[in-house]
Amino acid sequence: MTSPNPDHMIEYCDDVLPHMLTTACGVDRDLASRSGQDILPGPKRWPPMPPHDQDVLITPFVKEVFDHKPLDTPLDLKTKVTLVVRNSLLEQAHHNGQLTSGITTATEYAAGPLSHFLAARRRNPVDYQGPNPFTGLPARYPRAWACLHALTEAFTDGGRRPLRLPTAPIPGLPTGDEIATAPPANRDDTTMVFGAIDPRFDQHLMDLLGKATGGNFVACTSALSRHSRNSQKLHHILEFLLAHHATILTTNYLIRPT
């Protein structure tokens, strides 16, 4: 049995992905190269948490990746690919229109290399010292973490789970640089095109959070990840909604405190 080789992920970022983006997807060579280098720190940031805590991190994103190829790839690996590979300049290129349907193939192709990298890190952990969007979430967003913890158990075992929220300060609405101001994407002022990993809050999200402060609010969305693929931002949104006793309804779940 061969040992996992983290160099496969480095090769994917340095050579395989840039070549795929330029030759198959028509992406500018400079952007293709920068995308690969932007992805490379992602796997290093994946925290050496207990397996269940890692499941809590990936649970909000499971619905959008279940049909990603290869179909026999473990669901948790597909989700980690989305979190640590797609959440990069790849997503920005997709948002800007330079990379369309090819983004799915580009991320799916990362499953094997990422599997090697994460397995190697489990055998030889490395203490990553740079900024990390995956650490500190339970302390900063305790209600959101408790919610996703219960959701993980419901997803794994089925049925219902009690949601008992911890006592914590009530978060305020985002302010200042946390808010994005952008022109509407169409003439009737009803649509804003927004990057999925942008940490800022657009007017649609601000309106959503504002409605929650009035009480008896139901936030409806097809999946939690539709609010954001940025883990910090998604936890912020959940923390705010739960702190104001909102009910959250998705395609698969009804979330409300007991």
Alpha helices in 127-230 (DSSP H): 137-140, 142-157, 203-212
The H or E element spanning position 249 is strand 247-249
Calculate the CA 187 to chain-centre distance: 30
For residue 183, what pLDDT is reported?
55
Per-residue confidence (pLDDT) for residue 167, from 0 to 100: 95
This prediction's pTM: 0.88
Do 88 and 198 touch, CB atoms closer than 8 A? Answer: no
Encoded amino acid at 87, one letter: N
Residue ranges of the chain with per-residue pLDDT less than 70: 1, 182-196
Contacts for 132 with CB less than 8 Å, ≥ 6 apart: 45, 47
SS3 of residue 219 by DSSP:
strand
Q: Where are the domains of the chain?
A: 7-123, 137-255
With contact defined as beta carbons under 8 Å apart, do 69 and 109 qualify?
Answer: no
pLDDT value, residue 187: 47
Question: What are the φ/ψ torsions at residue 244 (nearest 5 degrees)?
Answer: -105, 20
pLDDT at 165: 95
